[in-house]
Amino acid sequence: MANVPPIPKRISSIKFGLMSPKEVRKMSATPIITADTYDDDGFPIDMGLMDTKLGVIDPGLRCKTCSGRAGECPGHFGHIELVAPVVHVGFNKIIRKLLRASCRKCSRILLDLGQKQHFLDQLAAVEEIGHRPDDLINEVFKEASKVKTCPYCKEEQLDIKFEKPSEYLENGEKLTPTEIRDRFENIPDEDIRVIGMDPDNARPEWMILTVLPVPPVTVRPSITLESGQRSEDDLTHKLVDIIRINQRFQENREAGAPQLIIEDLWELLQYHVTTFFDNSVSGIPPARHRSGRPLKTLSQRLKGKEGRFRGSLSGKRVNFSARTVISPDPNLSINEVGVPMPIARILTVPVIVTPRTIEQLKVYIRNGTEIHPGANYVFRPDGRRIKVTEVNKEDLAEKIEYSWMVERQLKDGDTVLFNRQPSLHKMSIMAHSVKVLPNKTFRLNPAVCPPYNADFDGDEMNMHALQTEESRAEAKILMRVQENILSPRFGGPIIGGIHDHISGLFLLTRFENHISAKDAFDILRKAKAHELPDPAGHDEKGIPFWTGKQIFSQILPESLNMGFPAQVCSHCDVCQEEECPNDAYVVIRNGNLLKGTIDEAAIGAFKGKIQERIIKDISSEAGSKFIDDMTRLAIRAIMRTGLSFGIADEDIPKEARIQINEVLDTAEDAVQKLIRSYENKELEPLPGRTLDETIEMSIMQKLGKARDETGNIADSHMGLENSAVIMARSGARGSILNLTQMAACVGQQAVRGERIRRGYAGRTLTHFEAGDLGSDAHGFVKASYKSGLNPTEYFFHAIGGREGLVDTAVRTSQSGYLQRRLVNALQDLEVHYDITVRDTRGVVVQFKYGEDGIDATKSDFSKPDAIQRVIRSVMNKEAGE
Amino acid sequence: MTKFSLLDHELVPKHEIMSEGELKSVLSKYFIDKEQLPKIKVQDPVIKEIGATIGDVVKITRMSHTAGEADYYRLVIE
């Protein structure tokens, strides 16, 4: 190990070029002349396509070139001498450009010496600054192909036309590859430099093939079917075709066949060589297998999603992984994942047989593969794998010795990685501990949905079983869910209560609930709190009762002290804090909720101040316990009262409806008045706006205000007994705007932030007069979803709705690409122990991470809260003591 | 035409050429060679302004919302 070179090696240069026929022959191990592969004994034929000089794939044989066995021999190229030259498909574009840019007689590039020197200088300059010369070279071709007579031999240049797939016509007459090759051969070296090629590494005539390299057999291995029949690789099939036609061509030419037949064969050879490189060239039918399936030739192996780059190098399928649909289970901890039994029986964890493990492993092996937790495979120290079967399980259990390895099935408590695509941030892959459950879906606590951005409408997730002790340790310390509750994005919790958790605790803590001992224990049962504090009071009959705030306090850590405004806070000018009349200021003293309502600001994902405080002041473990308890408590709490929403919840009283209509009518009158003043040219334009823009803006503003007003009216008639209001106010789901649209007025429909104007000339629909600027003619929806939209309103609503859909579709693809570019640029940067950010070469990118060296997860939403809190806590203590 | 200094602009942080001694202490602080510093081209307007030459290291003092002042060092290259 001592002389192993350091890992980051600097590549000084990479040379790209074309392969010359000479080079092809030099690297070739053997010429290939017969189209046959194996003889009757199943042995590779000499100078055939499976010649052992090209390497070996069958065990037992030795390579004639390097005398390596199968697996050791990397394979060697061979070559086929083509009877006549053919065009290489990949270079059609350059060949065409070069034909147009060079003289048909003397082969010189059609630029005078001065121009050539000018371009050469520019090329050198571009190379010096390290830019790509592509644009410059295109200009050379463009200039040269404009010239009609050769500046050297005065030959008139003819028009060159390229016809798919690989035919070149000069004034309608076909140029054969031989002719093209001759022209290119005569281009002098100094002219080649002008077109950006290096004559030592890439002569243009090498783009016309005279000899074809044959890839080693290791690149195109044949497979033996169960029937003993050999099945050859697609590339081998293609090479057979090429050799056959090549031979026929030669025979015909030697026999002096008519020109027509020779041309046909030449074209056929061209076709086969073309499809050997690329079987998806437009203009030619793809070469097919006998079964009718198109052949997978060289470029098909590399291209596209399943190609070598995207499919085999950037990403590949992995072992020890599983994927299935997810569903919720609030009884699981956020650190757990429910794994279906069928998956747990297939995924395994390797355990080495030691004095400590041997007894347990014997039990697993005796369980076999059918009884969970069992063992699926046993590995002997020599690497041999033995499958555990019903037949051999007893024997195996007796046979295992120290240093053997057993692959036991996944069981409760194993650490696995859990992932949902798209993996956009580090919380998209987190470590969970396994809980084996019946049925066929992965189960997870709904509180961990936000980091994965998961829901249960059919989402699938992936799981990876960790295989080494090191990976398990690393995953447990760095990747467990509880270690990722705080997001480095904004320094707050990304995991917390959602939907019903928020409504549930809101209902529990908001009102002066009187909860009997029986009910209290019922709510707290799942949260594993077994004692109640002193009752808050006694009712008329002398039976003690507790408040919701007291019950919630049971799951708070005792050392918790905090105060903050709740989500329901109405942002008064002067905050009365603890004396808040709306019970919207949360006060927690020594783990007791004294004042305030628990809602999104307290326990919600993204916002929850309580989780944040617990994690930062106590530990992430306490934080995860709190979330577990909180979700269970909230679910029990919401089940006690129930929370439902229906059409009737959108009802508003008659007088509210009348008020809303009045507001809408006055708004419409105001709009009409604006329009009249606009038509009478009395309207004053706003600064920097045209008159047309001004009227549009004022109308939009009027109508927007009207909609908000109707919302306020509806809102004032729906109190906190309305479940939609509860959900909107507490931050559980929906907003007051959603409510307004359902109950009062949907409002203006917009396209690109403007009123709808598209449609016919001067009007949106034929229902309106041309030039009508009125509110209903441009997409103002007076109706509410409850009352129902009229046909024109419905149409405008569909227009506005479609824009939203298009927007999301466009945004996701664009932001995805942006993210990819950013990740590719930053992926190798690393924060070192001295807080410098460096790349793999050790070049410093930042001298202090983020210029301030702050870990965002440990900051308070990036605000200097910590200092103030310390001061406050110190002052309070002093005052108290 | 009035000529003004680039450095007077509020968005251009303070650039100054480092002395040998300063440079040595920075390099030893981070255990790096001069080559591992971030680079800046001589053609850069601010480099022309302060008259640094290839091989010099400039110290850049930036104002930061979170850290007050943040130091940065760049090696002047061709």
pLDDT value at A13 more than 70: yes
The pLDDT confidence band at residue A796, using thresholds 50, 70 and 90, is very high
Question: Per residue in A485-529, pLDDT tens?
Answer: 998 888 889 999 989 999 999 998 887 788 888 888 888 887 777
Q: Say which of B30, B31, B67 has its CB closest to residue A852.
A: B67
Predicted confidence at residue A879, as pLDDT, reads: 43
Q: Say which of A834, A842, A862 has its CB closest to residue B36.
A: A842
Give Dmax over CA atoms of chain A in angstroms. Answer: 121
Predicted confidence at residue A3, as pLDDT, reads: 61
Q: Could you give the domains of chain A?
A: 90-206 (no CATH), 321-484 (2.40.40.20), 500-641 (1.10.274.100), 647-805 (1.10.132.30), 828-881 (no CATH)
* Global ipTM: 0.93
Question: Per residue in A368-388, pLDDT tens?
Answer: 899 989 999 999 999 889 999
How far is the alpha carbon of A863 from chain B, nearest alpha carbon, in Å? Answer: 9
The pLDDT confidence band at residue A878, using thresholds 50, 70 and 90, is very low
The pLDDT > 90 percentage for chain A reads: 40
Question: Per residue in A452-489, pLDDT tens?
Answer: 999 999 999 999 999 999 999 999 999 999 999 998 88
Predicted confidence at residue A424, as pLDDT, reads: 87
A852/B contact by beta carbon, under 8 A: yes
How far, in Å, CA of A737 to CA of A711, rounded? 7
pLDDT value at A311 more than 70: yes
3-state secondary structure (DSSP) of residue A352: strand
3-state secondary structure (DSSP) of residue A339: strand
Span A663-680, average pLDDT: 90
How far, in Å, CA of A734 to CA of A740, rounded? 11
pLDDT value at A782 more than 60: yes
Query: Sign of dihedral through CA atoms A103, A106, A108, A110?
Result: negative
The pLDDT confidence band at residue A61, using thresholds 50, 70 and 90, is confident
Predicted confidence at residue A327, as pLDDT, reads: 96
Collect all residues with Cβ–Cβ distance below 8 Å to A475 and sequence separation of at least 6. Answer: A415, A417, A431, A466
- A836/B30 Cβ within 8 A: yes
Predicted confidence at residue A78, as pLDDT, reads: 93
Q: Which residue of B has its CA nearest to A856?
A: B66
- A841/B66 Cβ within 8 A: no
Residue with more model confidence, A665 or A854? A665
Q: Could you give the domains of chain B?
A: 11-77 (3.90.940.20)
Low-confidence winner among A272-286, A570-584, B8-22 (lowest mean pLDDT): A570-584
Which amino acid, A771? Answer: G
Question: Per residue in A227-245, pLDDT tens?
Answer: 878 888 899 999 999 999 9
Question: Per residue in B13-36, pLDDT tens?
Answer: 999 999 999 999 999 999 998 889
Count of A-B CB contacts under 8 Å: 38
Other Cβ atoms within 10 Å of A127 Cβ, number: 13
pLDDT value at A25 more than 80: yes
Q: What is the CA radius of gyration of chain A?
A: 39
Span A660-664, average pLDDT: 92
Question: Per residue in A65-94, pLDDT tens?
Answer: 888 888 888 899 999 999 999 999 999 999
Partners of A595 in beta bridges = A587
Predicted confidence at residue A320, as pLDDT, reads: 94
Question: Per residue in A831-850, pLDDT tens?
Answer: 999 999 999 888 999 999 98
Angle at A335 between CA A333 and CA A340, to 5 degrees: 80
Query: Which pTM was predicted?
Result: 0.77
The pLDDT confidence band at residue A877, using thresholds 50, 70 and 90, is low
The pLDDT confidence band at residue A880, using thresholds 50, 70 and 90, is very low
- Report DSSP letters for A567-606, one per residue: TT----SS--GGG-TTS-EEEEETTEEEES--SHHHHBTT
The pLDDT confidence band at residue A347, using thresholds 50, 70 and 90, is very high
pLDDT value at A550 more than 70: yes
Residue with more model confidence, A252 or A865? A252
The pLDDT > 70 percentage for chain A reads: 98
Find out whether B77 and B59 touch, Cβ atoms under 8 Å.
no
Predicted confidence at residue A856, as pLDDT, reads: 83
- A847/B67 Cβ within 8 A: no
How far, in Å, CA of A438 to CA of A343, rounded? 10
- A851/B67 Cβ within 8 A: yes
Task: Output the CA–CA distances (angstroms, integers) from residue A488 to A255, A335, A451, A818, A859, in the order listed.
Answer: 79, 19, 12, 20, 9
Predicted confidence at residue A2, as pLDDT, reads: 52
- B70/A852 Cβ within 8 A: yes
Q: Say which of B37, B64, B73 has its CB closest to residue A851.
A: B64
How far is the alpha carbon of A135 from chain B, nearest alpha carbon, in Å? Answer: 24
Interface probe for A, chosen from B72, B74, B75, B78 (most Cβ of A below 10 Å), is B72
How far, in Å, CA of A315 to CA of A309, rounded? 8
Other Cβ atoms within 10 Å of A237 Cβ, number: 19
- B66/A844 Cβ within 8 A: no
Span A139-155, average pLDDT: 87
Predicted confidence at residue A5, as pLDDT, reads: 57
